[in-house]
Amino acid sequence: MIVTRSWLNEFIDLSGVSNETLYETFNAIGLEVDSMEEVKIPEKVVVGKILSCEKHPDADKLNVCQIDVGSQKLQIVCGAANVVDAEYVAVATIGAVLPGDFKIKHAKLRGVESAGMVCAASELGLPDMGKGIMILDESIGMLEVGRELGSYEKVADTIIELELTANRGDCLSIYGVARDLSAALNIEMKPFEVKLEERMKLGIARKADLHTKGEMDADLCYKLARVEKSASSFLIKLRLAMVKVEASCALEELLAYATHATGVILRMYSCASLCEPEDEKVIVSVEAYAKGIIHVYANGKHVSIVGVNQVAKTKPTDESNEVLIEASYIHPDLLSEAVASLDVEKDELFYKTSRGSNGDLTFGLTYLSYLMETYTKSECYEGALEVEVEREQMKILVDANEISSIIGMDVDLGKIATVLQKLGFEITAMNDHQLATKVPLFRHDIKNIQDIAEEIVRIIGINNIPAKPLVFAEKKRLNATSDRYKAKKALRNRAVGIGFYENVSYVFSERATLEQYGFEVTKDALELANPIAEELNTLRSTLLTNQLLAVKRNVSYTKKSIPLFEIGAVFDAERNQSERMVFVFAGQVEVESIKNAGKPPLIDFATFTQKLGAVIGHFELVPCTQKNGLIHPYQSADIVKDDKVCGFISKLHPTVQEAYGIPVTFIAEVELEALMPKHINAKPISNFQGVYKDLSIVIDKSMNYYEVVKVLNGLDLPMLKESYPIDVYTDEKLGDKKSLTIRFFIQSMEKTLKEKDIEEVMQKIIEALASECGAELR
């Protein structure tokens, strides 16, 4: 919503209010100032009167004007076509400096002397008012030849753009904004009084009829007017340009101006478009189509939907000589709900009607009639055709104590009453701590005591409310979510400690990519209906594809070592949400340095696994059962924690690596649930010496160590405390066999081991491995 200072001044006297105060007040009462621009007309730009205007002898498009600027008469060559229609214009005299550091000097145009420039609005830093020079008139004040244009307050105005919240339809007009200011600044509104001449004695009933059909839920008021000429004024054009409202003809300018000023929804229909030549009357028929949807017909033709749109060809033009004027009000909630389920075109007025327009139709019509009488020499037929809806006005009982407790400071009932009255509320009853108030129609957003409290807060100013810490009962508020959050934070810090960067990516993925690599996708019936882009058209079921894109970007930024992790949400086909932690490591293990003589190794399975373990703790690797297109079939494993598969680790499949154009990459994705800290009970520690024993066995080359582990785990050997592989060896002599060296730690809880005890344990191991794995001693 854009307002100007001088326009506001029509409704409230702002003469004692500085722009700084205005700025602060708007912000303080919740009408946020987006921008505030003081129009500065350059000095030496004055009002000039054109005495004569003749064609330039040597140039078709130029005119040579003799202009009176008070102190002297100047000859100025002007290129604008509309100068021939002008009497009073803005003249930049010699020495004036126009915006863009454009200095006005003596000039010769095609041989003719020119001592200044006749200005267009945009040349003076005013908003663009269309083609040609500005043609001034007395709408901005009395025109005195030679007077500085900048001294006219209505020209050198202040343009204020307000950012309105969705509930403040009442401030979508100059009048509404003035009313809010009146309460905030404690300045009375100026009474709006115009005297309309009653020149026409003809009643409207002679020329128009109104019929209704169905239950009416809109207020409507129609007037009929005869238009003598199509004209508005310089000020109207200037202000419409300042508030960025467009109009296509003079009548539309008046209409838009009146609507912007009063907030009343006004429409105009050209009678010529409604009536056939033989029609003697305009027959307006208003029909309820559905709740909140009112169709308007004129002489059988559909012309508009109240609050929504108007048939274009019924709009007034410069040729219109008789017009039907309509003022309307419909409750915004009713309208918004009705329109949402209807596929209809909405015009620029819908923004106002859906947020709440001014229901004071008489005010709007009077304002417009006054403009039309003044500028178009219109005559209105006497009386009006009206539809009025019975509405129950919202009543609220306001208790000063309740208001005080919501705000947190004592507010006096008298102060509450004053604020509400200034805001247009009617006080119907009052005792020493309560008052009853009727909410005006234009404040449809006020429904309860807290809404009233908001009005009070706005006007007394939040910054005048003291801050008070809340006293709250002690209670433990740590819960599973805060535990989980703490665990996540620890995981993240460990990942960072081992060199990974934290990535945050969208929970979206490209469905085609997920399908291509064999990941789960959301069921079609549950899929996103309005994705924002093709590559973000589904919920991700893996964190990995987003990481690969990040790796790709980092490669393009010439990064050679790319370790990333992310903790984030994934969704299954049923759209169930869970969290995972993902790791990718691409390229070099580390940066080039003294340590690696400038040739750092590339990431490999062992290093990646070690880093992963430093973050997520102990795990086992078993043959990979996961299936997706990113997995390298021969360098991949399921990650087992607490005897459960919770994710996988793999070298990135070389074809994917190539497709993304990235270096050697390792990936791992783990269910976050499996990484949550577990309760641990300590086991007794033996006080007796233990021994390490190494065993080298020869087994099939294709046999995984995992098979050996299964055999060892199946043995009932309480003294065997630990076992782990320490060497694998192959050579030609071994053929399709390999030698595997395993280290065992043997210890008893009860006694110091004797050679015989150790032998017994080792013998059982050897026998089991021989029978189950076909192992031979080396």
Partner 1 sequence: MENLEVKILQADSLEALEKVRIELFGKKGVLAAEFAKMKDIPGPEKKAFAEGLNKQKAALQATFDSRYEALKAEEIEKVLKSEAIDVSLYGTLAQKGALHPVMETMDKIIDYFVALNFSVESGNMVEDDFHNFEALNLPKYHPARDMQDTFYFKDGGLLRTHTSPVQIRTMLKEKPPIRMIAPGSVFRRDYDVTHTPMFHQVEGLVVDEKGKISFANLKAILTDFLQYMFGDVDVRFRPSFFPFTEPSAEVDISCIFCDGEGCRVCSHTGWIEILGCGIVDPNVFKAVGYEDVSGYAFGLGVERIAMLVHKIPDLRSLFEGDIRLLEQFR
Encoded amino acid at 241, one letter:
A
**Shortest Cβ 685–partner 1 spacing (Å):** 35
Is there a contact between 397 and 450 (Cβ–Cβ < 8 Å)?
no
Describe the crossing of helices 234-242 and 250-262 by its angle, rounded to 10 degrees: 60
Q: 554 or 665, CB closer to partner 1?
A: 554
The number of angstroms, rounded, from the C-alpha of 454 to the middle of its chain's C-alpha atoms is 24
**Shortest Cβ 233–partner 1 spacing (Å):** 34
- How far apart, in whole angstroms, are the C-alpha atoms of residue 551 and residue 499? 15
Give 496-499 contacts, CB < 8 A, sequence gap 24+. Answer: 497/614, 498/611, 498/614, 498/615, 499/563, 499/590, 499/611
**Shortest Cβ 590–partner 1 spacing (Å):** 6
* Antiparallel, parallel or unpaired: β 561-571 and 501-502: parallel
**Shortest Cβ 169–partner 1 spacing (Å):** 8
- For 47, 562, 586, 587, 592, the CA distances from 553, given in Å and listed in that order, are 62, 10, 12, 13, 21
- How far apart, in whole angstroms, are the C-alpha atoms of residue 511 and residue 276? 60
- How far apart, in whole angstroms, are the C-alpha atoms of residue 671 and residue 542? 11
Q: 530 or 687, CB closer to partner 1?
A: 530
Q: 14 or 184, CB closer to partner 1?
A: 184
**Shortest Cβ 332–partner 1 spacing (Å):** 8
- How far apart, in whole angstroms, are the C-alpha atoms of residue 747 and residue 772? 24
**Shortest Cβ 64–partner 1 spacing (Å):** 44
Integer Rg of the chain from CA: 42
Give the tokens for residue 171.
Answer: 């401030």
Is there a contact between 211 and 283 (Cβ–Cβ < 8 Å)?
yes
**Shortest Cβ 337–partner 1 spacing (Å):** 4
**Shortest Cβ 188–partner 1 spacing (Å):** 22
**Shortest Cβ 473–partner 1 spacing (Å):** 6
For 199-230, the DSSP string reads: ----BGGGTEEEEEES---EEEEEEEEE-S--
**Shortest Cβ 264–partner 1 spacing (Å):** 19
Q: 332 or 364, CB closer to partner 1?
A: 332
- How far apart, in whole angstroms, are the C-alpha atoms of residue 538 and residue 573? 11
The number of residues making up the chain comes to 778
Q: 408 or 601, CB closer to partner 1?
A: 408
Gap between the terminal Cα atoms of the chain: 90
Q: 99 or 408, CB closer to partner 1?
A: 408
Q: 498 or 640, CB closer to partner 1?
A: 498
DSSP assignment letter at 81 = G
Q: 533 or 606, CB closer to partner 1?
A: 533
366 beta partners: none
Q: 54 or 502, CB closer to partner 1?
A: 502
**Shortest Cβ 122–partner 1 spacing (Å):** 23
**Shortest Cβ 679–partner 1 spacing (Å):** 21
Is there a contact between 666 and 632 (Cβ–Cβ < 8 Å)?
no
10 Å Cβ neighbour count for 324? 27
Q: 153 or 527, CB closer to partner 1?
A: 527
- Phi-psi category of 735—alpha, beta or left, where left has phi over 0 and alpha has psi -120 to 50? left
Q: Which residues contact 636 (CB under 8 A, 6 or more apart)?
A: 624, 626, 648, 649, 650, 651
Is there a contact between 589 and 683 (Cβ–Cβ < 8 Å)?
no
Angle at CA 300, nearest 5°, toward 298 and 302? 65
**Shortest Cβ 464–partner 1 spacing (Å):** 10
Give the tokens for residue 336.
Answer: 């918004």
Q: 181 or 284, CB closer to partner 1?
A: 181
Q: Which residues contact 668 (CB under 8 A, 6 or more apart)?
A: 582, 583, 584, 608, 612, 639, 647, 648, 649, 650
Give the tokens for residue 650.
Answer: 């793999």
| The dihedral formed by the CA atoms of 512, 518, 524 and 527, expressed in degrees to the nearest 10 | -60
Q: 561 or 636, CB closer to partner 1?
A: 561
Q: 33 or 640, CB closer to partner 1?
A: 33
Q: 262 or 554, CB closer to partner 1?
A: 554
List the 282-290 sheet strands across, edge first.
208-213, 282-290, 293-298, 301-305, 309-310
The secondary element (H helix, E strand) that includes residue 565 is strand 561-571
Q: 332 or 440, CB closer to partner 1?
A: 332
**Shortest Cβ 243–partner 1 spacing (Å):** 20
Q: Which residues contact 408 (CB under 8 A, 6 or more apart)?
A: 465, 466, 468
**Shortest Cβ 10–partner 1 spacing (Å):** 25
**Shortest Cβ 107–partner 1 spacing (Å):** 37
Q: 58 or 502, CB closer to partner 1?
A: 502
**Shortest Cβ 239–partner 1 spacing (Å):** 25
Q: 342 or 728, CB closer to partner 1?
A: 342
The number of angstroms, rounded, from the C-alpha of 676 to the middle of its chain's C-alpha atoms is 37
**Shortest Cβ 31–partner 1 spacing (Å):** 9
Q: 438 or 559, CB closer to partner 1?
A: 559
Give the helix ranges, DSSP H, for 205-310.
234-242, 250-262, 271-274
